[in-house]
């Protein structure tokens, strides 16, 4: 469940009421690949995203800037 991933990001608790992946310009970070990846969303009703690189769903969703800060992506 990707909501847990979102809650783990510090700033998210302030913003989760308005979180909307359709409206936001967000990026997807795969915790297994350890980088920002493209994802599939098999069901638009679920916050489940599948990494296209490893086909697993260990995905965090946030703005690209926020992901780079939180996961220290270079
Ligand atoms: Zn992956």
Q: Quick one: tokens of 43?
A: 């069901």
Q: Quick one: tokens of 25?
A: 């310009």
Query: 52: CA distance to ligand 1 center in Å?
Result: 7
pLDDT tier at 1, thresholds 50, 70, 90: very low
For residue 1, count CB atoms less than 10 angstroms from its CB and return exposed for 0-12, middle for 13-18, buried for 19 or more. Answer: exposed
CA distance 52 to 61: 14
Query: 33: CA distance to ligand 1 center in Å?
Result: 4
- Predicted confidence at residue 34, as pLDDT, reads 95
Residue-wise pLDDT for 2-33, tens only, equals 555 555 455 554 555 555 555 667 899 999 99
State which residues have CB under 5 angstroms from ligand 1, the bound ion: 30, 32-33, 51, 53-54
- Predicted confidence at residue 56, as pLDDT, reads 95
Domain ranges for the chain? 2-70
Closest residue by Cα to residue 72 from 13, 25, 9, 26: 9
């Amino acid at each position: 469940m990707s909501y847990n991933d979102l809650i783990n990001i510090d700033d998210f608790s302030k913003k989760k009421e308005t979180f909307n992946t359709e409206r936001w310009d967000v990026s997807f970070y795969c915790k297994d690949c350890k980088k920002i990846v493209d994802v599939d969303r098999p069901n638009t009703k679920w916050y489940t995203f599948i990494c296209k690189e490893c086909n697993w769903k260990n995905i965090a969703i946030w703005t690209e800037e926020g992901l780079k800060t939180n996961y220290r992506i270079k």
